[in-house]
Structures are given as C-alpha cells and as structure tokens.
Amino acid sequence: MKNFIKYTILYSLNIIFIFACSQKDNVESTLTTIEKSDFPQTIKLENPDKILDDDAFHHFKIFVIDTVLLTTSLVGDYHYNAFQINTLDFLGSFGVRGEAPEEWTMPVTMSGQYETSKDGLNLWFYDYLKGHFSKINLTKTLNSNSLNPIIDETVSLDTKKFPFTNLFYVSEEKIIGDSWISESDRRRIKSFNPKTEEVKKSELFPTMKNTNKLPAEVLNSFYTSSFRKHPTKPLFVQAMFVFNRIDIFNENLQVVKTIVGGDNGLDDYYDGAEVDLKSDFLLGKIQGYDGVTTTSDYIFALEMNVKTKDQIKPKDSYVRVYDWSGKPLCLLQFEHPIVGLAVDEKRGMFYITDYENESVLRYNIKNLMDEWNN
C-alpha cells in the first residue's frame, strides 16, 4: 500500500512537471525578441498636412471611425469632436462634460471599437464611474445635433466585481477588459460574462520579484499598457508603458504572440524590494510604449519618449510597425512629439496629434502600406 501511494505521488508529480514544462515551452514559443535595429527600414515622414487647426478644440487623442475623424478634448464643454474624414467638415461635438446623469465625467471613455450597420456607425463607450458599457449610434447622434449621445444598447456592469480601465465587446456573453488603476488583484487581461457575471483573469506578467512589498498603485504603475483590438477579429494587443513588451491575446485570454525589445521585457527584471517609494522610482526604467493603434493588417506602437537623468527629452518620435504575426516591417520617424495616433487603412493616411503645439497632422503612407503588403 505504501509503495502504491509512493508511486501515485511520483506519477502525479511527473504529470505536473510535464504540464509545467509544456506551459513554459508554449510561452517561449510565442516570444520573439526584436530590437530597434531589427527593423528592415526607417522612414522619416515629413511635410504633413496640418489639419483641424481651430484652436478652440485642443485635440488630444484621435480615432478613425470609418468616414468620421473623431478627436477628444481635455478642456471645453464636450469630450468629442467629429469631422468628415475626406472634407474635414465639422460634423458636431458630443459628450457633455459634467456629472449630471447624461453627462460624462471621464475624458477618454472608448478604445476606438466601432461597428457598421444599416443604421450607420455605432461606437462602444464605457463609463467606469457609472458602471455601464454602451453602444452609441454615432450617425444618429451627429445627424440630430444631439449633445448627448443616442444610445442603442447598454450593458450594465458591477464595477466592484469587474473594475476596468478599457473595455471591448466580443459577444452577449463576453466583454474583454483590463484592470482598473488601483485594483488590488491586477492582471494583464480579463473577461466578463454579463449574463452570468463570471469573471476570468490571466496571470500578471512579466513577473517581478517581491511584488508583495509594493502598494497596489505602485505595482499597477509598472503594468500600465495601451490596449487595442483587431478591427474584425477577437485579437487584442497591449503595448506596455514601462516594459519593452507587446503582447497579443486571443479572446480566451491566451497569449498568441509576445514581442520584447531586450531584458526589460522578461520575467524578474525588476525587484519590488529595490523600489524606493520616496523617489521617482520609474525614472530611467521606462522603456516601453506610449500608445498603440491597429488596422486589419498592422500594429502601430508609439515608443515612449522620455528623458532620463543624463539626457533631455528627444525631439523625434518613433512608431514601430509590425504585422499581426509580430514581424517588424518599418520604423516610422516623426519630428513632432506625439500624443495620439490613428490610421485610415482604406485611404492610406496616418494621423497624429501634437498636443504641445496644438496640431493635428496627416501623412500619406499609402505607398508604404502597399510595400508592406507585398
């Protein structure tokens, strides 16, 4: 009997070991290291069209919503401003800034997810403070000159059970999100079933040593990421702020591709025990990305542009372009500080917002995109 128990335990341990090794092999098989020097070409984009130059809007972020160019504002009466993408005619503003029931308190309440239907363009918006995820009929809102968006559908969320920063709609039974900025049990990505209220979560990675020594807000600052969805497929990309790391997930929260740019993006590079909470503990550690946008074929990741102790903030900005398999295609160079970026895949246009200089700039990259397709 003792021998039977002994062999049973050993057999179980072997199974666990094999499973752990297979999991590790799977993670390693999805990871690729791509340095800046690995990009086959660097293209400096110059002579852009300066557009939307009315100083009253103070454009911050920018989104391409089919035939509409949508910008956000941090000041003024409205959160969103809409323009016809070809003529740049002003279509209207919406999203009244405020705390009344139909007003919005948060400055950025969407991640660019939209749908087209017989009723026009529909945008998914979320409000963490009010606990809902809504599909807004953008076409009806703009045509009616409504300052408050016309809502076609609303999904109620219990933010105590499912706190979030960004949300994406997959189906009636699945919403994908990431953690709220002060969430104690932070994970990289998670899902919520509105019908059953079931929550599923990924692990938190890359791992750090001694994370138990850090307050939740400090730990979360290491794992801040830009978050976007593939326009038509249930694929999601996170470009991390501190870590030089991009992860592509499927709707089951599994990593299908990881791109790192050095040791900074790997496990246990940082140690929580070495973080001095009284200092600017992120100074010199930020090696990641300040934004990401996607098209059906490409991922555009904006390199973080920060100064360190020994250098001033660089003037030029760089955007790394990958395909969805993680292959590096091009490094785009700009002579402007970039806050927001968006790509019009149909027309081959690249948009950036230069908030410091109150500028929205448009570049024609159609020929470049044709090259990448070949």
Q: State pLDDT tens for residues 83-99.
A: 999 999 999 999 998 88
CB 224 within 8 Å of CB 236: no
| pLDDT band, very low/low/confident/very high, at 75 (cuts 50, 70, 90) | confident
pTM (2 decimals)? 0.90
Q: Residue type at 101? A: P
pLDDT tens-place string over residues 149-179: 999 999 999 999 999 999 999 999 999 999 9
Q: Residue type at 86? A: N
Instruction: Identify the pLDDT of residue 18.
Output: 36
* Mean pLDDT confidence for 63-76: 94
Instruction: Identify the pLDDT of residue 308.
Output: 56
Instruction: Identify the pLDDT of residue 109.
Output: 82
**pLDDT above 90 as % of the chain:** 71
Instruction: Identify the pLDDT of residue 102.
Output: 81
Instruction: Identify the pLDDT of residue 101.
Output: 80
pLDDT tens-place string over residues 234-279: 999 999 999 999 999 999 999 999 999 988 999 999 999 999 888 8
Q: Which secondary structure element, helix H or strand E, spans residue 94, and what is its range?
A: strand 90-96
Instruction: Identify the pLDDT of residue 128.
Output: 85
Domain ranges for the chain? 1-33, 34-373
Residue 283: which residues within 8 A CB-CB, separation 6 or more?
308, 309
Q: Residue type at 249? A: F
Instruction: Identify the pLDDT of residue 310.
Output: 59
- Choose which CATH entry (2.60.120.380, 2.120.10.30, 3.40.190.10, 1.10.287.3510) describes domain 34-373: 2.120.10.30
pLDDT tens-place string over residues 293-318: 999 999 999 999 866 555 566 679 99
Q: Residue type at 170? A: V
pLDDT tens-place string over residues 3-44: 434 443 443 434 333 333 433 444 456 999 999 999 999 999
Can you give the three-state secondary structure of 20-70, one letter per residue? HHHHHHHHHHHEEECCHHHCCCEEECCCCEEECCCCCCCEEEEEEECCEEE
DSSP string, 287-348: -SEEEEEE-SSEEEEEEP---BTTBPPPS-EEEEEEETT--EEEEEEESS--SEEEEETTTT
Instruction: Identify the pLDDT of residue 114.
Output: 96
Instruction: Identify the pLDDT of residue 38.
Output: 97
